[in-house]
Amino acid sequence: MSVENLKDMNDLVSLSKRRGFIFQSSEIYGGLGSCWDYGPLGVELKNNMKETWWKSMTYRDDVDGVDASILMHPTTWKASGHVDNFTDPLVDCKQCKARFRADKVDIAAPCPSCGTKNSFTEPRLFNLMFQTFMGPVQDTASVVYLRPETAQGIFVNFLNVQSTMRRKLPFGIAQIGKAFRNEITPGNFIFRTREFEQMEMQYFIKPGTQKEFMEEWKQIRYQWHLDNGLRPEKLRFHPHGPGELAHYADAAMDIEYEFPIGWGEMEGIHSRTDFDLKQHQEFSGKNLNYVDQIDGNKKYLPYVIETSVGCDRSLLAVMCDAYRLENKGTEEERIVMKFKPHLAPIKVAVLPLVKKPEIDEPAYKLLKDLQKNFKCEYDTSGSIGKRYRRQDEIGTPFCVTFDFDTLNDNAVTVRDRDTMKQERVSIDQLKAYIQSKM
Ligand code: ATP
């Protein structure tokens, strides 16, 4: 059997559209640059990603969750450094007006868009935060920002969570939510968009312990990506050198995945010191100190280890990794999305062999029963082979075929997506059988 991995991102873009994973936003109006809509299967996959992250990060005895507002007091972003520092250097091509990040394009070379030489403007700093206005008056006093990261919603709630949950260090606060960045050069499908979802956790620790917790979280987070099925040879750590460190960090490490477009960051793990809490304490005038009862009631600002993963980017990695083209050019050719069952948008497809009431009706009853536990699809149209191919392409791990024998033996054929092996399973045992394979 021949197997090819995903080589060209366009193949995934077209599968995503064809099968209802991801559509261009506002497509009927010609689309909106770098904005994407998750379709019926995409939203299932995304919800599953979020659920696995949420469970692994908050179903522990030392991490609580929050869901903070996207709009925050504007001083938050002065304190965090985003108003002054969240900038990229921007250059324009004077000829074709295309815009590039000065750090991502060779300014001495011809414009990659129109080929004109020496056509770039001087680099100027461009703030990536989206601005809007709160209330009916559009003046400087009413400016608010769409949050460029979810982290600050956690820092400003540090004391609320610590006191209401009676937390002692070390403990963490986790959040999933939308973030917005007016990226100069978005692209590569959902790799870099202007609206995306982050899954972040800030772990508050005693100053001086950051090295050991950084190491611990590095391993935990790497394992999460492996558990999502990503192949180890396509994952690596990228430690930040001194020149790459963000203004808030004393150490940082990315987890990178080898996409068809090359290696790219999926997650950042940052040792943020007490930078953020210190800034918020100063700008708000509120005392954010932690009182360490174990250490003689000493008062101090905790240090922070942050894990920050893009939901959309890790979903893209999962899709790229799951994609297989088997037996290209032969009768047995198929595209199969080998999602781990816990991530697969549809877990079970119920396929009545023929569209006759004596099969269709009990098969539909079986579907209703399975739907109590699993996200299922019911498909009666086309040959069974075609129906299997469709389920392969959307990554459904189990196809359950209801045939004439079922009426006598009360058993169905379960086909495994990856091995294509078929097994006869009694309907009474079906739920337990599927659960055991998940
Ligand atoms: P990059 O260098 O790619 O711009 P970053 O270092 O600015 O990313 P962080 O601020 O550390 O990224 O954000 C954490 C995670 O959020 C990233 O690892 C990525 O998965 C995700 N992310 C950041 N920017 C975007 C974006 N524009 N589109 C999609 N996901 C993003």
| Residues 159-184: b if buried by 16+ CB within 10 A, e if exposed | eebbeeeebebbbbbbbbbebbbbbb
Nearest CA to ligand 1 atom 3: 265
Q: How far apart are CA 283 and CA 39, in angstroms?
A: 42
Task: Sketch the domain layout of the chain as residue ranges.
Answer: 3-74+141-321, 87-127, 346-437
Atom 25 in ligand 1: residue holding the nearest Cα: 192
Provide the CB-side half-sphere exposure for 326 (13 A, CA). Answer: 15
Closest CA to ligand 1's atom 19: 310
Q: What is the pLDDT of residues 373-396, one digit of tens each?
A: 999 999 999 999 999 999 999 999
> How confident is the model over 169-226, as pLDDT tens digits?
999 999 999 999 999 888 899 999 999 999 999 999 999 999 999 999 999 999 999 9
Q: Is the peptide bond before 74 cis (omega within 30 degrees of 0)?
A: no
pLDDT digits over 77-95, tens only? 999 999 998 988 899 999 9
Protein residue with least CA distance to atom 13, ligand 1: 308
- Taking the domain 3-74+141-321, which CATH number applies? 3.30.930.10
Q: What is the pLDDT of residue 305?
A: 98
Helix or strand (DSSP H, E) at 367: helix 357-370
| Structure confidence at residue 265 (pLDDT) | 97
How many Cα neighbours within 13 Å face the side chain of 360? 7
The answer to whether the 3-74+141-321 and 346-437 domains have the same CATH topology is no
The structure's pTM equals 0.94
CA of 314 to the centre of ligand 1 (A): 11
What is the per-residue pLDDT across 346-372, written as a single tens digit (0 to 9) for each? 999 999 999 999 999 999 999 999 999
**Which atom of ligand 1 is closest in space to residue 310's alpha carbon?**
20
Q: How far apart are CA 369 and CA 378, in angstroms?
A: 12
Residue of 196, 199, 272, 307 best suited for mutating to test ligand 1, as the one with most atoms within 8 Å of CB: 196
Mean pLDDT of 65-82: 97
Atom of ligand 1 nearest to the CA of 265: 18
Question: By CB neighbour count within 10 A (0-12 exposed, 13-18 middle, 19+ buried), where does 342 fall?
Answer: middle
**Rounded to an integer, what distance in angstroms lies between the CA atom of residue 415 and that of residue 422?**
4
E-strand spans in 274-421? Answer: 290-292, 298-300, 303-310, 323-326, 334-337, 348-352, 376-378, 398-402, 411-416
Q: Which residue has the higher pLDDT, 247 or 171?
A: 171
Mean residue pLDDT across the chain: 95
pLDDT at 155: 98
Ligand 1 pocket by C-beta < 6 Å: which residues? 149, 181, 183, 192-193, 196, 198, 265-268, 308-310, 312-313
Q: What token pair was written down for 56?
A: 């692994």
Per-residue confidence (pLDDT) for residue 141, from 0 to 100: 86
Show the tokens assigned to 130. Answer: 């989206």
Homologous superfamily (CATH) for 346-437? Anticodon-binding domain (3.40.50.800)
Closest ligand 1 atom, CA of 190?
29
pLDDT at 249 over 90: no
Q: Which atom of ligand 1 is nearest to the CA of 254?
A: 18
